[in-house]
């Protein structure tokens, strides 16, 4: 009986030692696992990002619409307690750019919502660079800075007959 007891204590002692060893050794691996996963994901996303295919076009027209939208927080009346909060009018201006390229004419929209938003520095009837990716339209201004807009309309240009 004493032999079995000693053997059991030895097995328990080894198990605890191995368990503690594994817990101690696993800590540095756990600390490295998350940064390694984030780094791997960043590398994958960076590698998959395709460079934009820039096209040449002519800026035919620029028009603007002034608008506003309601924004804020308001909690309505609850029983006899009056509501509270604030609702105000916020800027919601839109600028439309008409860009003509070989086969298509695009109307792209840029929404100005902040008081800091300014019109893009562009020259009408001048060449512009743009890129189309799904529903997004990227336009380079006269300084070469890239801006993201949305496509409002895409029209195929009629081909002129040669005589």
Domain residue spans in the chain?
1-43, 55-156
Pairing outcome for strands 68-75 and 84-91:
antiparallel
pLDDT computed for residue 67 by the predictor? 84
pLDDT at position 160 over 80: no
In percent, the amount of the chain with pLDDT more than 70 equals: 71
pLDDT confidence band for 117 (50 / 70 / 90) = confident
**Residue 157: count of CB within 10 angstroms of its CB:** 11
pLDDT computed for residue 48 by the predictor? 64
Q: Which residue has the tokens 């060893």?
A: 21
pLDDT computed for residue 113 by the predictor? 85
When mean pLDDT is compared over 16-30, 73-87, 120-134, the highest value belongs to: 120-134
pLDDT confidence band for 50 (50 / 70 / 90) = confident
Query: For residues 73 and 136, is the Cβ–Cβ distance under 8 A?
Result: no
Higher-pLDDT residue of 6, 87:
87
Specify the DSSP element, H or E, that contains 122: none
């Amino acid at each position: 009986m004493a032999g079995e007891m000693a053997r059991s204590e030895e097995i328990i002692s080894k198990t605890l030692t191995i368990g503690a060893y594994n817990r101690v050794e696993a800590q540095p691996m756990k600390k490295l696992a998350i940064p390694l996963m984030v780094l791997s994901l960043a590398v994958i996303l960076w590698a998959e990002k395709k460079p934009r295919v820039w096209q040449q076009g002519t800026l035919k027209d620029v028009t603007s619409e002034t608008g506003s939208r309601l924004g804020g927080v308001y909690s309505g009346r609850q029983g006899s307690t009056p509501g509270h909060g604030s609702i105000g009018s916020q800027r919601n201006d839109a600028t439309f750019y008409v860009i003509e390229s070989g086969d298509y004419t695009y109307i792209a929209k840029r929404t100005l919502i902040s008081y800091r938003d300014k019109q893009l520095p562009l020259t009408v009837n001048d060449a512009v660079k743009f890129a189309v990716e799904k529903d997004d339209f990227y336009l380079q201004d006269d300084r070469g800075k890239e801006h993201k807009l949305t496509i409002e309309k895409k029209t195929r240009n009629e081909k002129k007959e040669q005589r």
